[in-house]
Amino acid sequence: MTMLLKLLQLGEPLLRDRARPLAEEEIHSTYIQELILSMRDTLRDAPGVGLAAPQLGVPIQLAIIEDQPEYWTELSAGDLAARERTAVPFHVVINPRITLASEPSIEFFEGCLSLTGFTALVPRSREVKVECLDDCAEPKRIHASGWYARILQHEIDHLNGTIYVDRMRSRSFMSMENYKRFWKSESVEDIKKKFAE
């Protein structure tokens, strides 16, 4: 039986610790399989596109990702194209090793379920490669670009005790309310110029 889990908020010490890897036998355990289902339900309820076990108080190298089209209703076709955002089916990432294909130079606003109500411009690499295990402890190789690559970088950061505020353009940090009120219709380039002043 799955249940919605409580999301830790920034300031909880566990969010700043490096999570421990999972052994293959742990991945197959009832506890981990039920945790994955509860994480999925919690992610969909939030809603969000990714969730790492440390955000729920479980310090293990496990994250889930799912980006559904119903989350894009406020984005124009141009915004979707600029973000290279496409549907990503639900999947599990365990013990990931990430390789950035380029310097983190693509900037978009990010939020986080462990820092609710805020957003900021965060530079990320456009492409990544990830080697990991899935929920069946099978090795997987992921080659991702665009928004999917951003989600992977964000969630894998969580597994290493890093939050997007550590990488953000600090002058762009704001409440979601003010982002929607003042900045949502501005281009990222115009916003970057404004915050560079």
What tokens were used for 93? 């990432």
| Coil, strand or helix at 162 | coil
What tokens were used for 15? 């969010």
Closest CA to 49 of 146, 173, 189: 146
What tokens were used for 62? 């496990």
- Residue found by looking up tokens 């490096």 in the block: 18
Cβ neighbors of 148 (< 8 A, separation 6 or more) are: 65, 67, 84, 86, 88
Residue 154: exposure state from Cβ atoms within 10 A (0-12, 13-18, ≥19): buried
155 is catalytic: yes
Residue in 107, 155, 186, 189 annotated catalytic: 155
- The amino acid present at 111, given as its one-letter code, is G
**CA atoms of 153 and 100, how far apart (whole Å):** 9
**CA atoms of 7 and 48, how far apart (whole Å):** 12
**CA atoms of 2 and 79, how far apart (whole Å):** 35
User: Hey, which residues are catalytic here?
Assistant: 155
